[in-house]
Chain A
Amino acid sequence: MSTEDRYQRRWCWDRVTWGTHCVNCLATCPYRVFTLGDTVAFEEQGGTIEAVAEGVPDLNPLGCQKGSAWSVQLTSEDRVLHPLRRVGERGGGQWEQITWEEALTEVADAMLDTIDEDGVESIVFEESVEGGLLSQAPFLRLAGLLGAITLDANGLVNDLPTGQHITFGKFSCASTVDDTFRSELLLQWHSNPAYTSIPYHHFISEARYRGATVVAIAPDYNASAVSSDMFVPVRPGTDAALALSMCEVVLSEGLADLEFASTQTDLPLLVRTDTGRFLRERDIRSGGAEDHFFLWDEGNGIHDAPRATLRLEGLKPALRGRWPVQLADGSTVEVTTVLSLLEERLADYVPERAEELCGVAASTIRTLARMVAGHRCKILEGFNTPKYYHGDLMERSMCLLLGLTGNWGRPGTGIQGLALAGLDGYFLFPMKTKKGVEETARLLEGIEQAVETMRARDPEATDEMLGNQLLALSASSGTSAPPVFFNYHHAGYRETWNRAEWSDPTMKRTFDAYLSDAVRRGWWGGVARPGAATEPRVLFSVGTNPLRRARGGRAKLLSNLWPKLDKVVVVDFRMSTTALHADLILPSAMQYERVNVQYPITHTLRLSFSDAATPPRGESRTEWQIFSALAKRLSERAVERDLLEYVDGRRQTRHLDRLGDDFVVGGDFASEEVVLDEWVRDSADAGTLPVGSSVETLRRDGSIRFTGLGIFAPGLSVAADVSPTDVMTAFGWHVDKGLPFPTLTRRAQFYIDHPWFVEADEHLPRHKEPPRMGGDWPLLITSGHSRWSVHSMSMGNRPLLGTHRGRPLVVMSEQDAVECAVREGDQVRVVNDHGAFEAMARVTPRVRPGQLIVYNGFEPHMFPRWEGANEVEPGMVKWLHLVGKYGHLRYLPFGWQPVPADRAVFVRLERVEAV
């Protein structure tokens, strides 16, 4: 064979299907999968997405190195292909291969024992987005049918930008990524899109070529700073000071868009100077409402702040001043505006003062502030801030900067995080008692009725607010529980969280006291589960990897949670660290071996399809197959054991003998393809996908653009029109239509008059130093997501391992290397009062002295003694986030709740072994 023939024959296939990888980057890039015989030969981005708007680059080719190497993983050495049962002690690395029959029976019996002896709430599932909707939906369905506990995914992965939630009543502030192209000023702030947004990064460089200025604000000269116009090095954890100083400049130099701020924000609302609380209707009218607020109209004095709209409708609210107001009891108090209070606070952040705090030159702060005020500015903010203890303060300060400069809801503006697109069929699915459009109509009409009933009680509420109410209602009957309580009671975090020296020093009481106070006040009514007395006995991890992920470390879970568990069941396609510590590993099929979709988000506003290019390898099965079989086995064993029904934690009677049938709705949903088809058809019927969409059209086109946001809160929270021929800008409805925000004040809210917030002096945004988490040590770990993996997904992929050093790294500055007598390539030990780990040192001038970067994603089993980087992270949660029942500060699944911090952990470093 000639050489040319040799390579010609390597580029062959006999089948092409669509595939995407359903990992937790949520990008769901449409790939073409080329299969030869029964082997996936390679994959390549589809590149078939049509341009949306004239003059805006298209989305192609959407992909990254992880996606382009996925096929290799199908045959990777870390793949699990048979059901395995642990032999010897947990984590000992010895297994026996068992049959599916044995495995399912063993799991079913452990579950029935638990239900029988301790109650179903001792069965706990970890939620995730890993693996796609058809990995997650099956076990969520089983948990729902059982009344078990599912730990809220966002509380586990801490991707919750609480500051955005505090400000906007939601965190779904993401426009489509092509909106980046329309920006004039891009602030890469707490984000490193060159690592973490590879498919979309081109819009940044293309915006630059169109005239945008690109700024990187970060402690280190990171990969995204490289292609920026300005690098603004900031001391880690002081971003709020920088943002507030820019706000100070904008206001003091008269650059603010005060009309925008008056309309969109709470800055004109009146606050009593005696109590520091908003002036409420109840204060001045007997029987008045608790959630009606006021502003000072320049013509007519005190006036109700409009609740049904953000539009001022002729009002001219005063933004600054102090006025006397007569209360209902006849007494007089002084009121002022939020802006007046804010300006007092901002006096602490004049640039020269802020420079001392954040290390950014005062002249630079002024320059940046003027740029923000004069341009369509977008903050590209990933999910890094939520992982700081005081990340909420950073986000609130960033949002304030945008609010003062008219920078949201307009093309090229806003703070770019993530927003869920409205796959309404998926939301409907758990409610469906049979398949088909009639059932869909019945449910949708029922929901509409429920919404209308709620609207009758509050005619000024928006659809989004009512959607949230509906979600809150269902949360109190659903399985989802914020993990903070589980971690506190059962996973050993209580002691850690009570360590005052690792917490915000303004915390006056113990964490215990705040938590019990919050629970006692009913702020977490119905969702503070499982309670202290309900010990977990069976833990399911389906594609999640708590021992890699858990802030607080693998050791904490193994020594506190694991001993309580009769059965740790891991469903995964690979040997994660958690799988290594499981009792049973059930092998799941990978993408390219089954149909699947990932949860769609608004970045691309598309639903992308992953087809079965080959059958699952080995004995692996899809999660739908696994959990429907488990449901069936549970029914069979329940009948054999005469355990036909039980009462769950919410006093609902559950019937085990029907479980198997209920799971598949009497056979209506026998396979995941049928389930997916139903989701897609229902979404099309509900108007969020094109009419006629089905698995068939997905299979043909690979990816479909959404046509609407749907009727459910997650979609509606983007508050924007979906047009087939235009870029989508989040919050367009708030700005163009005056649609109120779903906050307590119905405005973007910078003033939080909750007593705890006042106690913490966080009623307004401010800067607070990161607490000395981990101890009083000289170095601070900032971390971040790596370029090479999505969390630990793809970290075991051989070609990808070859694109870096293939082992964990501690990236450090040259100065600190000298200080610690470390040379490039040495093995070093990172230690603090919580734990330690070892890794290879990479010494570089790009890192700020005092800063260490440990990119996450490496499995603990890639570190000596399996002590991963999370061993030094105490996993502190901010006590203020236990607040509830304050307008928008209340639990919703995936929403407001305490999340553990892992950035800005203090450590020291020593050399273990020289090169």
Chain B
Amino acid sequence: MSQDIAGTAVAGQVAMVFDLNKCMGCQTCSIACKVLWTREEGEEHQWWMTVNTQPGQGTPKDWEDMGGGRKKDGSPVTGHQPTRAEFGGGWEFNYDEVFYGGKGRSVHLKPTDKGDGTTRWGMNWDEDQGAGEYPNAYYFYLPRLCNHCTHPVCASACPTGAMYKRPQDGAVLRDEDLCQGSRFCMEACPYKKIYFNEARNVAQHCIMCFPRLEEGVAPACARQCPGRLTFVGMLSDPEGPIHKLVNEWEVALPLHPEYGTTPNVFYVPPLAPYRLNEDMSIDYETPRIPPEYLESLFGPKVHSALATMQGELDRVRAGGTSEILDTLIVYNWLDLFGPFTTDPATLDRTPDKVAVSLTAKRTEPAGG
């Protein structure tokens, strides 16, 4: 078994950019994913897409302290396998007891505590808590999904070879028939975006909505994002906004680049309002979000990315124009989605039709 499957020939790498300055933490991406993919038994607590308030403990709780990833020399960093209680959530509620139990006001609707600690945490437990001191508290929203890394340490840690990068788009997937539920992937993934399905004894994570990509439809999280902040496309497309934001203008950065897995999800780091002085006058100099905190998330390049963003804002406020900001404005919604602009409602996806196309695909020669 190879230690790093980055060598897999990938025809193109699908990538995403989230502009954190447009993210309002609404969780529509999380819900879009949840409703589409993770509503069966064993998936209750699974949120392949999450949005967390930063700074914060996030999901799973304290995930940034759980290890995993890859050293500079390519050797693995061992990690902790997040527990069900650390994920929390997936609650059941006592609907029947409250509505029909004849107990009146002696009972109220609440998550049912099964004694496993899962009612004291959830995917967004520390929502809007933030850090700092009033009135100079600071926080922002960080949407996270599988990074579909170029060096997927999850796959390298799998003893059964169940995980792979799809040749056509670089999405990291798992063959759930091969997965034996041993969860080394969950330990190895430094982003902790892999979940264990207890009911089926397999791990699961974001599938990059590959059935949608194959039909030219953007992933659900991106297409449903009301904030219009989620770009999808092929990383190498020189005309696409992702390439420009990431490689040309360098305003979009990977999360925790030091984890060493080379993520394919990038973030435009957050600006923030001015701080206030003791006397409540405005402090135009000191940034509200400590730069070292942002550096801890996005690496040292975050400083130049923010400087570029601020410079562009200053220019448009002075009456100038900015190609970067016009790109981030996204005048035409579909410009977010690169080659994936198909309207799903125009597709024929009846089960019979899909079954036929699946059979056809299987009979194609390998590599097709």
Contact = CB atoms under 8 A, between A and B. Distances in A.
A640 B328 CA distance: 70
Interface string B296-318: 00000000000000000100110
Given A32-B344, A802-B91, A367 B223 contact: no
A361 B135 CA distance: 13
A847 interface: yes
Interface in A1-36: 2-14, 16, 32, 34, 36
Interface string A54-94: 01111011111100110110000110000000001101111
Contacts of A641: none
Nearest to B98: A861
Interface stretch (B146-154, B253-261, B268-276): B268-276
A225 B273 contact: yes
Contact of B99 (A93, A210, A845): A93
B122 interface: yes
Interface string A211-238: 1010010000111111111110100000
Nearest to B102: A94
B176 A3 contact: yes
A269 B207 CA distance: 68
A360 B104 contact: no
Nearest to A88: B102
A233 B136 CA distance: 10
A871 interface: no
Interface string B72-104: 000000000000000001110101101111111
Given A10-B37, A65-B27, A364-B281, A803 B124 contact: yes
B66 interface: no
Contacts of B276: 231, 233, 361
B9 interface: no
A201 B276 CA distance: 25
B316 A210 contact: yes
A617 B97 CA distance: 22
A16 B165 CA distance: 33
B28 A68 contact: yes
Contacts of B125: 805
A756 interface: no
Contacts of B349: 11-13
A866 B110 CA distance: 12
Contacts of B135: 221, 231, 233, 848
Given A57-B331, A865-B105, A221 B274 contact: no
B32 A44 contact: yes
Interface in A759-784: none
For chain B, give the interface size range.
Answer: 35 or more
A8 B134 contact: no
Interface string B102-141: 1111101111000000001011110111111111011111
A12 B350 contact: yes
B249 interface: no
A865 B351 contact: no
B225 interface: yes
B227 A202 contact: yes
Contacts of B329: 57, 206, 209-210
A177 to B, nearest CB: 12
Q: Is the interface of B mostly helix, strand, loop or mixed?
A: loop
A35 to B, nearest CB: 11
A908 B139 CA distance: 28
Contacts of B274: 229-231
Interface in B199-239: 207, 210-212, 220, 223-229
Interface string B342-362: 011100011100110010001
B3 to A, nearest CB: 23
B350 A14 contact: yes
Contacts of A205: 21-22, 227, 229
B333 A863 contact: no
A814 B227 CA distance: 31
A199 interface: yes
A205 B271 CA distance: 12
Most buried by A among B30, B35, B325, B332: B35
Contacts of B220: 44
A804 interface: yes
Contact of A11 (B131, B175, B211, B345): B211
Nearest to B344: A44
Contacts of B1: none
B26 A64 contact: yes
Contact of A844 (B24, B137, B226, B282): B137
Interface stretch (A45-53, A115-123, A479-487, A734-742): A45-53
Contact of A846 (B91, B137, B316): B137
Given A93-B104, A799-B35, A58 B210 contact: no
Contacts of A546: none
B264 to A, nearest CB: 19
A8 B105 contact: no
B25 interface: yes
Contacts of B101: 93
A8 B102 contact: no
A45 B22 contact: no
Nearest to A71: B35
B364 interface: no
A375 B37 CA distance: 47
A45 B110 CA distance: 31
B227 A864 contact: no
B109 A861 contact: yes
A42 interface: yes
A230 to B, nearest CB: 5
Contacts of A865: 105-106, 108
B366 interface: no
B144 interface: no
A656 interface: no
A57 B91 contact: no
B175 A3 contact: yes
B10 interface: no
B74 to A, nearest CB: 28
B41 interface: no
Pairs of residues from A and B, 8 with the lowest C-beta to C-beta distance, nearest first: A194-B24, A77-B95, A60-B333, A211-B316, A845-B137, A209-B325, A361-B280, A65-B31
Given A7-B37, A61-B226, A846-B134, 6 more contacts: A2-B177, A51-B331, A361-B276, A802-B89, A803-B123, A807-B111
Interface of B: 21-28, 30-32, 34-37, 39, 45, 47, 89-91, 93, 95-96, 98-106, 108-111, 120, 122-125, 127-135, 137-141, 173-177, 207, 210-212, 220, 223-229, 270-274, 276, 279-282, 313, 316-317, 319, 322, 325-326, 328-334, 343-345, 349-351, 354-355, 358, 362
11 contacts: A3-B174, A9-B355, A45-B226, A93-B102, A205-B21, A216-B273, A221-B135, A222-B128, A224-B24, A228-B273, A361-B281
